[in-house]
Chains A and B, each alone.
Chain A
């Protein structure tokens, strides 16, 4: 069975600090997708990134970066120079990579608070 663990329930930092959100997953599939979503107070889940299990390259998008390490089954998310607008709940998720089986399995989420 698939499982995603986000061990950090809540993180609070001061603005401009760097912060890393951890994500560890379990799956027996050799091909799968990993995701990060952001949920601001409004409630909508905003897609941030998708990563194919074959692609272990790290990715950077502005202040956001993701570190995918298959050897440790981790897909960590780092925000550099955090801002108050980054305050949200962040979810890591996993899905199979075959048609008709694309349901997401979510971690419990990490509530990130950026204090001014």
Chain B
């Protein structure tokens, strides 16, 4: 089974802190994604990466950056956390192949910025 693991399930951070959300997948997938989920707004794409050291902005990249130094790991960085970044963050991965591009998600990280 595909496993996408997010390092922290629940975090509480202070405004202005630098926050790292880590995600690791064990299936050698080339694509990785970060989404945030908010009530009434659904899931919105922050950043994605289709190869090591490659990144593409999603729909809401402002206030975030990402890092993909190794294929299995995709980090989301909040340079200076703000209260409007309180949300659930979901990491996902996928591979391109005969089975198409099924995207698998981690369990989510609930971030509260106070």
Which of A44, A45, A50 has the most C-beta atoms of chain B within 10 angstroms of its own C-beta? Answer: A45
Partner of B96, one of A42, A43, A99, A104: A99
Q: Assuming the A-B contacts A45-B90, A91-B43, are A104 and B103 also in contact, with contact meaning beta carbons closer than 8 angstroms in the complex?
A: yes
In the complex, are the beta carbons of A43 and B100 less than 8 A apart?
no
A109-B42 in contact given A99-B96, A103-B48 (Cβ < 8 Å): yes
A102 with B42, Cβ < 8 A, contacts A44-B105, A47-B104, A95-B101 known:
no
B5-55 contacts to A (CB < 8 Å): 31, 33, 40-43, 45, 48, 50
Asked if B94 CB lies within 8 Å of chain A CBs, one says yes
Taken together as a complex, chains A and B put the C-alpha atoms of A45 and B94 apart, in Å, by: 14
* Interface contact B104-A33, CB-CB below 8 Å: no
Residues on B with C-beta less than 8 A from A46 are 105
| List of B residues within 8 angstroms of A107 by Cβ | 42
Instruction: Decide if the interface of chain A is mainly helix, strand, loop or mixed.
Output: loop
Number of interface residues of B (CB under 8 A): 26
Decide: B58 and A103 in contact? CB cutoff 8 A.
yes
Q: Please state if B88 and A33 are interface contacts (CB–CB under 8 Å).
A: no
Could you give, for residues 98-114 of chain B, a 1 whenever the CB lies within 8 Å of some chain A CB and a 0 otherwise?
01111111111010000
Tally chain A residues at the interface, Cβ within 8 Å: 23
What would 12 A/B residue contacts be, using CB atoms closer than 8 Å? Answer: A33-B101, A43-B108, A47-B102, A47-B104, A50-B102, A95-B101, A102-B31, A103-B45, A104-B33, A104-B45, A108-B40, A109-B42
Residues of B73-113 contacting chain A, CB below 8 A: 88, 90, 92, 94, 96, 99-108, 110
> A: which residues have CB within 8 A of B?
33, 35, 37, 42-47, 50, 52, 91, 95, 97, 99-100, 102-104, 106-109
- Find out whether the CB atom of A102 lies under 8 angstroms from the CB atom of B90: no
